[in-house]
Amino acid sequence: MRFLPLVLANLRRHKWRSVLTTLSVALALFLFASLRSVVTTLDANSRFGAANRMIVQNATGIVFPLPMSYAARLQATPGVEAVTWANWFGGRYGDGKRFFANFAVDPESYLRMYPEMVIPEDQKQAFIRERTAAVVGKRLLEVFGWRVGQDVTLQGTIFPGDWTFTIRGVYTPSNRSIGDDAMMFHYDYLYERFQNRVTPGWFVLRIADPGRSATVAKTIDDGFRNSSDPTKTGTERAFQAGFMTMWGNVRLLMGTIGTAVVFAILMVTGNAMMMSARERTGEVAVLKTIGFTDRTLFVLVMIEAALIAGTGAFMGLGGARALYGLADTNVLGFLPGFHVSDGTLVFGSGIAVLLAVASGVVPAWRAARLPVVQALRKVE
Amino acid sequence: MALVEIRDVHKSFQRDTQKIDVFTGLDIDFAEGSFTALMGPSGSGKSTLLNLVAGLDRPTQGTIAVAGSPVSAMRASELAPWRAQHVGFVFQSYNLLPVLTASQNVELPLLLAPLSKKDRQERVKLALDIVGLGDRADHFPRQLSGGQEQRVSIARAIVADPTLILLDEPTGQLDGKSSQEVLALLQRLNAEFKKTIIMVTHDAHAAEKAKTTLHLEKGDLIEKRPSGAMAAL
Amino acid sequence: MKVPLIYNVRSVMQRPVSTAMTALGIGLVVAVFVAMLSLANGFASALARTGTPVNALVLRRGADSELSSGITREMASIIAASPYVATGTDGRALVSPEVYVVVAMPRPGHDTLALANVVARGVSERAFDVRQNIRIVAGQRFQSGRAEVCLGTKIAGRLPHSGIGDKIHFGNRDWTVVCHFSAGGSSFESEIWGENEQFMPVFRGDVFQSVSFRLRDPAAFDEARRALQGDQRITVDVHRESDFYREQSALLGTVLQFLAVMITSIMAVGAVFGAVNTMYAAVASRTPEIAVLLTLGFHPRSVMASFLAESAVIAAAGGVIGCLLALPINGLVTSTTNWNSFSEVAFAFRVTPMLLLWGLIFAVVMGVVGGFFPAWRAARLPVVQALR
């Protein structure tokens, strides 16, 4: 627009003020995007779950295992196509500071159950063949500097002692919500050493018709209700969602902080705009004398506010998106697939608009309503 | 018909609790092509009169017409574009926006007209040449002397080719030499380009450059005297 | 010659809105700072207070949490017979072998698969004496041989139907709630306690998870540890109870603190920018006054100090506002999962006077940092130009 040079010139009047204010907006929106992404990532992960997979766990609690004999009964349940099982191992590597999930699985059936874990075929076969083999997520190779073919030793916490595995395969998740830093080894290897104490931690089922998940769950749970190990069966999605609630009231916390951040930045921007406005009453009077209408002046001030908010938003939101995308963040293994969603970008842009309006409206209104004659008299 | 017709104008201000009457029934005409100096002590209403003529302020009573337009009766939203087209205003100080160059300052009134960038730039160049500052087009106000700043202001005042040029104490903050430059320019604008000029001043020397001098005292027109060579006699 | 403070005070009052906005911006940063650190504080102190330095906790060797540990009856007897175990007034050893499991309890207001993992601890009746600060606040202790449980005050508040006399269901059995107990704000308050002998058959079979005992001589902890860990009949690790629980909270506690610092740092930068803007504008608008001060003979250093003080005071006011904003959070109970024990811990936000003081200091630092360059500029004002 033809008035743009005027607006830009005004911003350049106090270069540092404009720069600092824009940077404040950028920082605030970067923070906002980061906080909101924690929530959106948790939500996305909680919604992860193939519609045709179900989890069977011990009704008493997730830490309680289930008898191996259940496998056959589950396979025989109408609607169930495939069954596999796993056991949480909870081993530590090195000094144990870097947490990662590791569990014992039934190799063939487990990998078939989770096609999202993409492994080269030869590695997959090597893993299945060798009892002491392990498959690791590709991130673990980076984190620990492991190579395929290397022996790694974990310290058992639930199953004490040193456990050595040979890495035969590396998986890459095709779905962001599956972590890329888990490790799986043979269930039989665990059973060998701890025969009395090892039974499956949970079962995973594939059902033929996702629409019948509720029926299947009821059949299974009713069947085991009166046994010594009653079951709780649910879709994988519900299971994941339950996991996510364990984070506690993260949403509220992030939301509250986010609000505080936005308000704080509103103070900063509004203040800067008001200061600029106060210094320019004389000039506004001159412009009106030349013939600029009230409305034009209102718009000019609003554009100024919009430029600051807009540039800051671009830098802050764009920066967050780029940073987390490039760095492929995983936040210590707890938030796989951490990234800034499109929704967050939209929300953040909305805040920028709000910021522009709120910080600009009072100075713009005052500029528009400035009584020229009074202003001139003060000036002369 | 005179270019500016002021009929029975009353104007009063409210300052704190006091009501101050500036004009109580003022009648003046300004002919087209005239160059008038308005003099008088402070509080006599000179600046107020200028504001009324420009449509920046409204009389409490009476009418003001400029080039046939009933300025005193027009709405604020109509006055702004009218001013852009018909009036050029020069203040004692605070004229130029410090963040813009000389040519950008001069361009300002043209931004309000439907002109292409090329047209605007042509007119700006012309205006700056007239005031003799064509070579300073890209300088910022802080790089200009006081006299040069005022001349740029005058360039801005004429760039839209207005009917009327109003100046409020244009040489008030200038030294002798700069004042001479500015006044010479005004005389030229009046003589050569036939601009109608009303200049408020308290400087008798400045007033001498005008064709006519009006004295205002307490809101009343005291004297109307031709200035310059004839007054010296 | 010092610039009189009244000059700054009056000048600040000339720009009330601008000053208020700057102060408020800083205030919000301080509020977030205090709130987040009180969250980390609350969590850490809940876990830290869970253990006492006069007790020792014995787990199976290599286990990193009570959950993954296993101690047989034999091992428990051997430990109880150790000379390092204190005896109570009745002459019996102050020792409590315990069963530790995490059970799935329904979370109020969520669907059936959103379960809270709650710690269920099967204790010996000595536990109420061994573990410190346990007080029954309602009802009576469970009796031996009965399916009775006591609930910590925090978990009682979060489970449906958990009043005295109500029945709760877990581990395939119904249990009658017979008492509520408080534990000095520690994580025990998030636990369900019952008799260890009752829990054993229901859960893990004939094995305890931990043995907790009072040290006869707390100063001799290292000796006790060496003796027990060196004993060939048992394979255990001995921890000082307070150290153990503090370490349990280490990961999450560190994460919370890290988050607090990161978030408030970023916010602080923004707020400092705001302060810089305000002070620059203040200096610019008061240039003639500064010139006069310098002409009168005030030392440039005094002028600089004066502006720094002004900035610091505005910031301090903001700090006070921030502390007031964060204060109501104190005592608010929230919960999260302690990933080490895989269980829910409920704890209260903990705002301490120390934390508030840190908040104020933080505010003043922001003010001084923000005001520095403008104040410096004021001091170096070229007087002659300013007076023109």
Q: Do C25 and A21 touch (CB under 8 A)?
A: no
Q: Is residue C56 part of a domain?
A: no
Is chain C in touch with chain B: ≥3 Cβ pairs within 8 A? no
Would you give the DSSP letter of residue A234? E
Give the number of other CB atoms < 10 A from CB of residue A97: 10
Q: What percent of chain A has pLDDT over 90?
A: 37
Q: Are B53 and B198 a contacting pair, CB within 8 Å?
A: yes
Burial of residue A109, with CB atoms counted within 10 A of its CB: 0-12 exposed, 13-18 middle, 19 or more buried:
middle
Predicted local confidence at residue C67, as pLDDT: 83
pLDDT band at A132 (very low <50, low <70, confident <90, very high): very high
Q: Do A286 and B100 touch (CB under 8 A)?
A: no
What is the rounded average pLDDT of the residues A321-342?
A: 74
Asked whether residue A180 falls in the same domain as residue A278, the answer is no
Asked whether residue A42 falls in the same domain as residue A117, the answer is no
Asked whether residue A79 falls in the same domain as residue A12, the answer is no
As given in the structure block, the two tokens for residue A149 are: 């073919």
pLDDT band at B233 (very low <50, low <70, confident <90, very high): very low
User: How many alpha carbons lie under 13 Å from residue A178 in its C-beta half-sphere?
Assistant: 18
Predicted local confidence at residue C262, as pLDDT: 85
Model's pTM, two decimal places?
Answer: 0.79
Predicted local confidence at residue C122, as pLDDT: 92
pLDDT digits (tens, 9 = 90+) for C157-213: 778 788 888 888 888 788 999 999 998 888 888 899 999 888 888 876 788 999 999
Q: Which helix H or strand E contains B141, and what residues bound it?
A: none
Using the predicted structure, report yes or no on whether residue A4 has a pLDDT greater than 50: yes
Asked whether residue C36 falls in the same domain as residue C113, the answer is no
Collapsing DSSP to helix, strand or coil, B227 comes out as: coil
Would you give the DSSP letter of residue B71? G
Q: Is residue C76 part of a domain?
A: yes
What crossing angle do the helices spanning C300-326 and C16-48 adopt, rounded to 10°? 50
Asked whether residue A298 falls in the same domain as residue A197, the answer is no
* Structural domain boundaries enclosing A119: 53-208
A291 touches chain B (CB under 8 A): yes
Reduced 3-state DSSP string for chain C: CCCCHHHHHHHHHHCHHHHHHHHHHHHHHHHHHHHHHHHHHHHHHHHHCCCCCCEEEEEECCCCCHHHCCEEHHHHHHHHCCCCECECCCCCECEEEEEEEEEEEECCCCCCCCEEEEEEEEECCCHHHHCCCCEEEEECCCCCCCCEEEEEHHHHHHCCCCCCCCEEEECCEEEEEEEEEECCCCHHHHCEEEEHHHHHHHCCCCEECEEEEEECCHHHHHHHHHHHHHCCCCCEEEEEHHHHHHHHCHHHHHHHHHHHHHHHHHHHHHHHHHHHHHHHHHHHHCHHHHHHHHHHCCCHHHHHHHHHHHHHHHHHHHHHHHHHHHHHHCCCEEEEEECCCCEEEEEECCCCHHHHHHHHHHHHHHHHHHHHHHHHHHHCCCHHHHHC
**Final residue of a domain: which of A179, A208, A237?**
A208
Asked whether residue C94 falls in the same domain as residue C168, the answer is yes
| CA separation for the pair C55, C212 (Å, rounded) | 7
Asked whether residue A177 falls in the same domain as residue A58, the answer is yes
C336 touches chain A (CB under 8 A): yes
Q: Is residue C331 part of a domain?
A: yes
Q: Are A211 and A81 a contacting pair, CB within 8 Å?
A: no
* Structural domain boundaries enclosing C355: 5-48+250-387
The number of domains in chain A is 2
Q: Is residue C241 part of a domain?
A: no
Of A233, A226, A180, A219, nearest in space to A53 by CA: A233
Q: Are B133 and B102 a contacting pair, CB within 8 Å?
A: yes
pLDDT band at A40 (very low <50, low <70, confident <90, very high): confident
User: Residue A271 forms beta bridges with which residues?
Assistant: none
Closest-CA residue of A relative to B154 is: A290
Closest-CA residue of A relative to B87 is: A290
Phi and psi at A184, nearest 5°, equal: -130, 140
Q: Is residue C240 part of a domain?
A: no
Predicted local confidence at residue B230, as pLDDT: 44
pLDDT digits (tens, 9 = 90+) for B180-213: 889 999 999 999 988 999 999 988 888 888 888 8
Would you give the DSSP letter of residue B145? -
**Residue ranges per domain, chain B?**
35-60+75-232
Asked whether residue A278 falls in the same domain as residue A350, the answer is yes
Chain C closest-CA separation from residue A304 CA (Å)? 17
**Final residue of a domain: which of C208, C234, C260?**
C234
**ipTM summary value:** 0.78
pLDDT band at B232 (very low <50, low <70, confident <90, very high): very low
pLDDT along chain C (388 residues), means of 10: 72 84 91 90 80 90 84 90 87 89 74 70 88 88 89 85 86 89 87 90 82 90 89 89 84 81 88 88 82 76 86 93 92 79 81 93 93 87 64
Closest-CA residue of A relative to B115 is: A2
Predicted local confidence at residue C379, as pLDDT: 83
Q: Is residue A13 part of a domain?
A: yes
Cβ neighbors of C16 (< 8 A, separation 6 or more) are none
Contact list in C for residue A156 (CB cut-off 8 A) is 62
Q: Is residue C307 part of a domain?
A: yes
Q: Is residue A185 part of a domain?
A: yes
Asked whether residue C97 falls in the same domain as residue C225, the answer is yes
Q: Is residue C244 part of a domain?
A: no
Asked whether residue C91 falls in the same domain as residue C170, the answer is yes
pLDDT digits (tens, 9 = 90+) for A56-114: 998 888 888 899 999 999 999 999 999 999 998 988 898 877 888 899 999 999 999 99
User: How many alpha carbons lie under 13 Å from residue A241 in its C-beta half-sphere?
Assistant: 15
The number of domains in chain C is 2
What is the rounded average pLDDT of the residues A254-278?
A: 84
CATH code for B35-60+75-232?
3.40.50.300
Chains A & B: contacts with CB separation below 8 Å: 79
Phi and psi at A214, nearest 5°, equal: -65, -40
| CA separation for the pair B207, B231 (Å, rounded) | 11
User: Residue B199 forms beta bridges with which residues?
Assistant: B37, B167
A376 touches chain B (CB under 8 A): yes
Predicted local confidence at residue A329, as pLDDT: 63
| CA separation for the pair C168, C387 (Å, rounded) | 82
What crossing angle do the helices spanning C250-285 and C353-379 adopt, rounded to 10°? 30
Asked whether residue A288 falls in the same domain as residue A344, the answer is yes
Which amino acid type is present at position A216?
V
Predicted local confidence at residue C212, as pLDDT: 92
Asked whether residue A123 falls in the same domain as residue A24, the answer is no
Q: Do A373 and B56 touch (CB under 8 A)?
A: yes
For chain C, the straight-line distance linking the first and the last C-alpha, in angstroms and rounded, comes to 25
Asked whether residue A112 falls in the same domain as residue A252, the answer is no
As given in the structure block, the two tokens for residue B79 are: 């006055």
| CA separation for the pair C52, B108 (Å, rounded) | 78
Q: Are A232 and C104 a contacting pair, CB within 8 Å?
A: yes
Mean pLDDT is highest, among A172-176, A311-315, B107-111, for: A311-315
C281-310 CB burial, b ≥16 within 10 A, e <16: bbbbebeeebbebbeeebebebbbebbbbb
Interface of B with A in 82-141 (CB under 8 A): 82-85, 87, 89, 91-95, 97-100, 104, 108-109, 111-112, 117
Predicted local confidence at residue C210, as pLDDT: 92
| CA separation for the pair B151, C25 (Å, rounded) | 45
Q: Is residue A341 part of a domain?
A: yes
Q: Are C100 and C119 a contacting pair, CB within 8 Å?
A: yes
**Final residue of a domain: which of A208, A240, A271?**
A208
Predicted local confidence at residue A332, as pLDDT: 55
Asked whether residue A57 falls in the same domain as residue A41, the answer is no
Q: Are strands C207-208 and C71-72 parallel, antiparallel or unpaired?
A: antiparallel
Collapsing DSSP to helix, strand or coil, A129 comes out as: helix
pLDDT band at A380 (very low <50, low <70, confident <90, very high): very low
Q: Is residue C66 part of a domain?
A: yes
pLDDT band at A378 (very low <50, low <70, confident <90, very high): low
Q: Is residue A94 part of a domain?
A: yes
Asked whether residue A288 falls in the same domain as residue A337, the answer is yes
Asked whether residue A98 falls in the same domain as residue A194, the answer is yes
Q: What percent of chain B has pLDDT over 90?
A: 28
